[in-house]
Amino acid sequence: MLQPSPLRRRIFGLENEYGLIFSPNGRVYLPMEKVLGYIFEGLIPNSWPSNAFLVNGARFYQDTGCHPEYSTPECDNILDLVIHDKAGERLLEACLPAAEERLREEGLSGEIYIFKNNTDSLGNTYGCHENFLMRRDVDFWKVTEQLIPFFVTRQIYSGAGKVLKVSGKPQYFISQRAQHIHEKTSSSTTSSRSIINTRDEPHADAERYRRLHIIVGDSNMSEFVTYLKVGTATLVLSMIEEGYAVQGMEFEDPVKAIREVSRDPTLKRKIKLDDGRQMTAVEVQRVYLDRAQEYLAQQEHDPILDDVWQRWAMVLDKLEEDPMQLVREIDWVTKRHLIQSYVDKKGCGWDDPRVFLLDLQYHDVKRTRGLYYLMESRGLIERVVEEESVQRAMSTPPQTTRAKVRGDFIRFARAKNRSYTVDWTYLKLNGYWEETILCMDPFSAVNRRVDELVSQVAGLRFYR
């Protein structure tokens, strides 16, 4: 696996909220909280918490609107992040058989569907949040001003695609989240969703770090897209932190721009800048691409960032020539191709109800049912990580970050049948030697106090 330069380590994380549907065999109403409870049982046996950390260091909990949400453990390698994001899908998929069996025991037969997408049939949205640990000593507001044009236009390769009716007619959008963004920056993630969230929760030493919290992105099925969207964001963030500014790219109206870009799969629409110029989304991305090339040329060789830059350049070239060249890599392109092929085969229109079902089924995490995975099983999708690594990540945390300490602690406590309390920055074994152990360094995979505690509790068996 490609490794980042040790001088340029960064912590990343993804939070994905999932859509949940129970389709009963018959006319039965079942509160979604109960369905979600059975899914929780599959991940955290013998308990029904609303917030729990897992042995792989990740966090699984119920979010607003009864959505299951999976937060990856802290990763310092973008490929590790892709792996652990996919591990979240696999964990939820693995819970389905037992959850459906529990329903049958209560006389409620049916199927549970879990979708990795961002909107429901009523027009509500739920998010995919990206987290980047960033330096506290840089001016956060100057950084965000330079990042906003990047995030507005990044959707041309990170969008998940969506069929929506506009004035009664179906229209294909590049992004699912773009239509739900109302501000440039905001501290809220629900009432006034923004391009960049300003909530200052570093989950680390607050004097050294803060967290860049991005809530504008779509949830992605494509491993290639997850790798590229996080990789380009960290590359741009790193160059801005190091003083490689991107000047003069401010948009006249970023919120209007993000919606206009999403509504134009041809990628020809021009965005108006503050200085009166007009540029396409591809052209804006090329400004950042070129600046990133200048930055990388002056840095120690970093295999991952170099690879990200090369893929970024390739994708922009193909998007400009013909986006459909990226049918194996980019979610919105793959889905559009899939729907168009179906429409052509069936001789129906894009307003056919089956088209909207196809749109949703693309995001089904059950690999024998989801259209993305059916395509992947036929070799029609570009993968960037090995399935063996994804399976291992379901129970094993990253070995180079604080997540290892957390995961090992949870595994130990469960093996000893001990009550414990865990959060991102602390661990506590309840009862004997009850002590809160702070873990403020997300880069540290070792904690001396945890090692001592484990040794003490393990030694109890000699005195019983």
Q: Which residues are catalytic?
A: 63
Which of 396, 421, 412, 394 has the alpha carbon at shortest distance from 452?
Answer: 412
- Non-local (6+) Cβ contacts of 100 within 8 A are 109, 110, 111, 112
Which of 310, 320, 308, 247 has the alpha carbon at shortest distance from 283?
Answer: 320
Q: How far is CA 237 from CA 193, 318, 369, 403, 457, in A?
A: 21, 24, 38, 23, 43
Alpha-carbon distance of 131 to 442, in angstroms, equals: 13
Which of 110, 20, 34 has the alpha carbon at shortest distance from 70?
Answer: 20
CB contact burial 45-65 (16+ within 10 A = b; e otherwise):
eeeeeeebbbbbbbbbbbbee
Which of 81, 102, 84 has the alpha carbon at shortest distance from 38?
Answer: 102
The SS3 assignment for 39 reads helix
CA atoms within 13 A on the CB side of 384: 26
For 91, other C-beta atoms within 10 Å of its C-beta total: 22
- Asked if residue 308 lies in contact with residue 5, where contact means CB atoms within 8 angstroms, the answer is no
Alpha-carbon distance of 157 to 284, in angstroms, equals: 13
299: left (phi over 0), alpha (psi -120 to 50) or beta: beta
E-strand spans in 28-168? 51-53, 59-63, 67-71, 110-115, 128-135, 162-166
Which of 209, 185, 226, 196 has the alpha carbon at shortest distance from 86?
Answer: 226
- Asked if residue 201 lies in contact with residue 131, where contact means CB atoms within 8 angstroms, the answer is no
The H or E element spanning position 443 is: none
Q: How far is CA 409 from CA 54, 391, 429, in A?
A: 10, 21, 9
Alpha-carbon distance of 455 to 446, in angstroms, equals: 14
Alpha-carbon distance of 153 to 283, in angstroms, equals: 9
Alpha-carbon distance of 248 to 151, in angstroms, equals: 15
